[in-house]
């Protein structure tokens, strides 16, 4: 299921590239559903383990990059904002797992977790299928989405850094 979820993330990249926003958004919905189900299925079948968790995190990061880079290269968003959006998202995820590596436990808190991020991407993608003209700062919905992902991603990484720092002070 995890590999299949990655396939749909890659497919969304292709659909964004060709400006097929409805198909890109639909691919992300399928990606999200498969990603949500893979861990549940593993737990129900009692085959969940650290290797599976590791693979899930790797696939999630690749999916994030494919999806956000797809938005950035679509005809409806400025590519230049894509790098900032990807950086914000990857830093957020990194800090969540770094906390776990330091023994604080996995940190999911903050403004922009993965589920919130995917919902925003889906909503803004479908909004752009309806209204493709600029809406804010001469940006379309998808362009504004990249600004939001960058800004909220960096804000979330700061929130998580503070949370981990405070937890480490008690050690």
Question: Count of domains in the chain?
Answer: 1
8 A C-beta contact, residue 164 and residue 83: no
Q: What is the pLDDT of residue 48?
A: 75
Predicted local distance difference test score (pLDDT) of residue 44: 83
Residue 104 DSSP class: S
Looking at residue 70, its pLDDT comes to 98
CATH number at residue 87: 1.20.120.1760
Determine the structural domain holding residue 72 and report its residue range.
2-169
- Indicate the angle between helix axes 50-73 and 80-101, nearest 10 degrees: 170
Contacting residues for 51 by C-beta, under 8 A, at least 6 apart = none
**Residue among 133, 146, 47 at smallest CA distance from 89:** 146
Report the distance separating Cα 134 and Cα 71, nearest Å: 15
Helices (H), the chain: 2-17, 21-44, 50-73, 80-101, 114-130, 141-169
Amino acid 171: pLDDT: 66
Mean pLDDT (10-residue bins), the chain, 171 residues: 94 97 98 88 79 88 97 95 96 90 87 93 96 90 97 96 88 66
Segment 104-108 long-range contacts (CB within 8 Å, at least 24 positions apart): 104/164, 104/167, 104/168, 107/160, 107/163, 107/164
């Amino acid at each position: 299921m995890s590999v299949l979820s990655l396939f749909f993330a890659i497919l969304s990249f292709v659909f964004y590239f060709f400006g097929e926003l409805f198909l890109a958004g639909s691919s992300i919905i399928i990606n999200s559903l498969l990603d949500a189900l893979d861990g549940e299925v593993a737990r129900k079948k009692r085959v969940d383990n650290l290797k599976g968790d590791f693979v899930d995190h790797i696939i999630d990061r690749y999916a994030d990059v494919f999806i956000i880079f797809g938005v950035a290269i679509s005809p409806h968003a400025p590519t230049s904002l894509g790098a900032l959006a990807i950086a914000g998202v990857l830093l957020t995820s990194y800090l969540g797992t770094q906390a776990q590596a330091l023994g604080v436990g996995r940190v999911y808190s903050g403004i922009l977790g993965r589920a919130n991020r995917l919902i925003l991407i889906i909503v803004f993608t479908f909004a752009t299928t309806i209204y493709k003209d600029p809406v804010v700062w001469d940006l379309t919905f998808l362009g504004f989405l990249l600004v939001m992902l960058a800004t909220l991603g960096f804000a979330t990484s700061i929130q998580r850094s503070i949370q981990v720092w405070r937890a480490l002070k008690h050690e």
